[in-house]
Structure 1
Amino acid sequence: MILNLVPRFLCWDDVDPARHPFDRDSAEQVVRSLGPARCVPTRPEVPFADPVMADWTRGEADPWADAMSYALVEHYGSWSVGWRWAHDEGDFGGGPVGHWCCPRDSITTPEETLPRVVAALCEWREWVESLAGWFEAYPLDLDDVEEQRILWECAARSLILQVTDRTGCGSGWYGHCRQVLTWFLSRWGVAPEVAEELVEEAIGGRFRSWTGPDGVVVDDVAERLALSLRPDDRAGSDQPLPDHLESWLAVRATVPWQDVQYRDTGGPVTPSSDGAAQDVRAIDAAVDPRRGEGLLAALELARADAERGARLDFELLRGWQRHVLDAAQAPPFRSLPAFAKGGRERYGMAPDTRARLDACLAESGIDTDPSLPLTARAARAYLDVCFFHPFDDGNARSAFLALVFVLAREGVALDDVLLIRRVTFHADSPQDALTLARYIDLHIVETRRKASSPGS
């Protein structure tokens, strides 16, 4: 199964009905016009346990269902892959669709199969539209979490119950439940990767296949999820979560960047291998091929911008981010406070936040402070993007691109980025900032050594 045909990887932007029009009245005509509709396989009249059935399923039925998913995605968009997310142990397990099970069971004859595809597609769309209605019924504001705590809990509880009812609590139903709660948080301004962490922590592995959750557990999950948006409350504190962007700016101004004993002597370096691209292929592409392709395209663009001597600012970042997020348009600056590290860091939002980011990024060039080593300027730019958190999604990748750009602008590339992309840095820690600078310095030194000694 190809990863981008698996519905559990869909985010809210992928399925939001407001972003993706759909006409039910023409759905049957559309399905019958697609290429796979002209070559529907016919199920052999043998018992399911017969080896002939297994061969037919692998050789004809499964490929046909994948081909139909591809065709629907090309016509309607990625949201449509959910048409096969069947109940129980169907194609993907634990889904909300009852009109489809799996290729072996649901593909019979062309006359019966195509109407099933149409019905499953419309059923999936109806479910997504009903979720959108539930989301809009709880218009929540991250800036006013304290006053809306009960509403957050009510919304989470209602959504869990909606999913249990729709899926029947069959095999793996909790996967879609996690997804729906993540979609809800994303709809109201929580970054998707943070929303996933918060939902996972709130559920805590307590949902089970073939078992509906106890009411006490549902209430506890809803409460935990609401509290996780203000983690300080869980510790019994009456103080609001601090603005970690302001914490970073205070740290940034006091870090003794020049005092670090950098080992690299400076100057351009060409690596024996492209460590940044290799890391993207090994990590990002393994998670999702589209994610890997997007980040590689952004990486290539960032290096081209560095070669032409572009200035690092938000406009440059958002040009790369369009590829990172595989978006039709360059994404805007976030409009709400942002959260990271499972909600433990909050980055505030003010009218001048974008302008302050641009001012910080402008300091990444050698012309602004020739006495500041490249490693320090690259580390600072990376952390600026992390803690200004300018986008609703993909900020860690954006920070990585900014670091690559700063280095590339002075003719430096790395053959390894392990210490840069695998370590978490905190906004309020001066030591973390210096640690990142040392890591970059180490990678440059090692890259230079290997480049001068091939085969080492």
Structure 2
Amino acid sequence: MIVELAPLFLTWADVDPARHTFDSASASQVVRSLGPAQRVPSRPEGPEGDPATNDWSWSEGKPWADAMSQALAEHYGRWTVGWRWAHDEGDFDGGPVGNWCCPKDSITTPEETLGRVTAALCEWREWLESLAGWFEEYPLALADVADQRTLWEHAARNLILQVTDRTGCGSGWYGHCRQVLTWFLSRWDVAPELAEDLVERAIGGRFHSWIAPEPETVDDVAERLALSLRPADGGTPSTGPTPDHLERWLEVRETVSWQEAPDGGGDGPVTPACDGAAEDIRTFDGALDPDRANGLLAALELLRADAARGASLDFELLQRWQHHVLGTPQPPPFRDQPAFAKAGRERYGIGPDTRARLDACLAESAKDAPRPLPLTARAARAYLDVCFFHPFDDGNARSAFLTLVFVLAREGVALDGVSLLRRVTFQADEPADALILTRYIDSHLAETRHGTATRCP
């Protein structure tokens, strides 16, 4: 048989120790009995980094290691291909094995090399057995998962931390983390394809090479994964379409008690001691990407000019700003497909009148709109409109923030600080979130009015 040698494609059925017997005591004898053990390639002499050694590693070392993987798989089963899944940038990125790196560094004398193969094989098997043990500690009963959410959050958190510790969070470690979480769900009868999708949505691209995730990120991923397992109908997790959260928002929008929003301490212009929006962009976005910060600052300058001339708020205005935010050759168009956010948990539909409906909602942000509301309510509502209409393919959170700043600026209001407005997320179907945002705006506004903000440098 010819086996797929990349361990990232192994399923739980492939590696489950209960399905594949292995005797570590006889592993050395087995390794030395295989055909490749009789022809370990001779390493060329030369200093470290010698190009000749690199060439040898690819021309002779890698084919030999591949042949050893093939022989081990034929003897024990496909699960063995993980013996070469080294930490960092080895034969395969981001694995849990420390006894093998790559042919260039791990193939030396025949005796040492075969010893490393045996040690790496046993280390890989020990890791699989430890995973199996952790899986059994958190038995998943899909019918009862709603009552076991805390247990399942602990399970996911523990597995993530075990992988980060085992891999050292080197290059590509998150690939194995996704795999382990998928194996975990598969063990408890979640279909592998669905398990993979749920894990991908829970992680949402927030794990990165060479960086250990923050505890808050680990907790959030664990919570999202546990929530995703909660079925809507008491059956298995659904693979059907996510509800249209834009429509949910539009329903919620009409039920929120906007008139109860705080008034920001009074009417009239508010001049800050410093430009809190610009300062936050320089520090927060500048740390992520200087080009991102520069684009946002250009859009901020443009929106302030638009506010000064009393421009009407609509998609065309957002589009002018987003051109700078994204740095696109042309102003970005309104999306033409359903959009997703929050790791896929919210879906925003699209129809022939979606853009017109957005414009109608944004028009209500004006002071002289038919239903007068406090400035904090109008700014918060416009922010959430942009979030949940999700008009662009990218950068909607930044667009929503600029929208809020514009609604304030059009009435002569600016803030010393904006941190509460950029570090939180809101749910489309939760009315309380809308009023929470109005209170955040009011808090920053009150601090600015009274000169008590702490964001000025």
In the alignment, the residues of structure 2 paired with residue 385 and residue 203 of structure 1 have an alpha-carbon distance, to the nearest angstrom, of: 35
How far has the Cα of 1:272 moved from its partner?
0.2
Shift of 1:174: 2.4
Question: What displacement does 1:336 show?
Answer: 1.1
Q: TM-score, normalised on structure 2?
A: 0.52
The 5-angstrom pairing of residues 88-167 of structure 1 reads none
Alpha-carbon separation, structure 1, partners of 2:321 and 2:439: 26
SS in 2 for 1:254: coil
Letter paired with 1:174? G
Q: Deviations over 1:322-357 (max 9, x none)?
A: 111111111111111111111111111111111100
Q: 1:261 to 1:290 in 2, by over 3 A?
A: closer
| Matching residue's letter, 1:427 | A
Does the alignment pair 1:382 with 2:380?
no
CA contact (8 A) 1:294 1:323 kept: yes
1:409 aligned partner, one-letter code:
R
* Distance change (3 Å), C-alpha of 1:48 and 1:272: farther
After superposition, the Cα gap between the structure-2 partners of 1:350 and 1:370, relative to the gap in structure 1 and judged at 3 Å, is closer
State which of 172, 182, 200 in structure 2 corresponds to 1:174: 172
Report the counterpart of residue 258 of structure 1 in structure 2: 259
The 3 A distance-change label for structure 1 pair 204 and 298 is farther
Inter-CA distance 289–88: structure 2 relative to 1 (3 Å threshold): farther
Number of residue pairs matched by the alignment: 271
Q: Which residue number corresponds to residue 67 of structure 2? A: none
Question: Which of the pair has more CA radius of gyration?
Answer: 2
The code of the aligned residue for 1:414 comes to: L
| Residues 334-413 of structure 1 aligned to structure 2 (within 5 Å) | 334-369=335-370, 371-413=372-414
For residues 369 and 272 of structure 1, do their structure 2 counterparts lie closer, same or farther at Cα, with a shift above 3 Å needed?
Answer: farther
Instruction: Return the match for 2:195 from 224, 227, 231.
Output: 224
Residues 358/288 of structure 1: CA separation in 2 closer, same or farther (3 Å cut): same
Contact 2:182-2:192 within 8 A present in 1 as well: no
After TM superposition, give the deviation of residue 308 of structure 1 in Å.
Answer: 1.4
2: CA distance between counterparts of 1:390 and 1:328? 18
SS of 1:364's partner is coil
Contact 1:400/1:421 (8 A) holds in 2: yes
Residue 365 of structure 1 aligns with an amino acid whose one-letter code is A
In structure 2, the residue matched to 1:447 is 448
| In 1: Cα distance, 2:365 partner to 2:356 partner | 15
Using the TM superposition, give the Cα deviation of residue 304 of structure 1 relative to its aligned residue in structure 2, in angstroms: 1.2
1:286-307: CA deviations, max 9, x gaps?
A: 0111111111111111111111
**Contact persistence 2:262–2:374 (CA under 8 A):** no
Match of 1:293 in 2: 294
- Quote the Cα distance in structure 1 between the aligned partners of 2:299 and 2:411: 19
Measured in 2, the distance between the counterparts of 1:364 and 1:236 equals 38
- Specify whether residues 271 and 234 from structure 1 end up closer, same or farther in structure 2 by C-alpha distance, changes over 3 A only: same
Q: Deviations over 1:200-249 (max 9, x none)?
A: 8x456899xxxxxxx99xx9875434356799974334674211111111
The 3-state SS of whatever aligns with 2:263 is coil
Shift in CA distance, 176/431, structure 1 to aligned 2, threshold 3 Å: closer
Structure 2 stretches of 5 or more lacking a match? 1-45, 50-85, 95-166, 203-224, 234-239
CA distance in 2, matches of 1:263, 1:304: 23
Give a deviation string over 1:52-80, Cα, whole Å, max 9, x none: xxxxxxxxxxxxxxxxxxxxxxxxxxxxx
Does 2:261 align with 1:275? Answer: no
2:434 maps to 1:436 = no
User: Which AA in structure 1 matches 2:381?
Assistant: R
Q: Is the 8 A contact 2:280 2:418 kept in 1?
A: yes
Change (3 A) 1:291 1:176: farther
Q: Displacement of 1:309 after TM fit?
A: 1.2
Residue aligning to 2:308: 307
Change (3 A) 1:297 1:203: farther
Q: What's the % identity of the aligned pairs?
A: 59
Aligned Cα root-mean-square deviation (Å) = 4.0
- Residue type at the aligned position of 1:236: P
How far apart in 2 are the matches of 1:302 and 1:204? Answer: 46
TM superposition shift of 1:438? 1.0
Asked if the contact 1:274–1:414 (Cα under 8 Å) also holds between the matched residues in 2, the reply is yes
| Structure 1: segments with no counterpart, 5+ residues | 1-45, 50-86, 96-168, 179-199, 208-214
Cα pair distance change 1:416/1:452, threshold 3 Å: closer
Q: Matches of 1:410 and 1:404 in 2, distance apart?
A: 10
Partner residue of 1:212? none
Structure 1 distance, partners of 2:261, 2:448, is 20
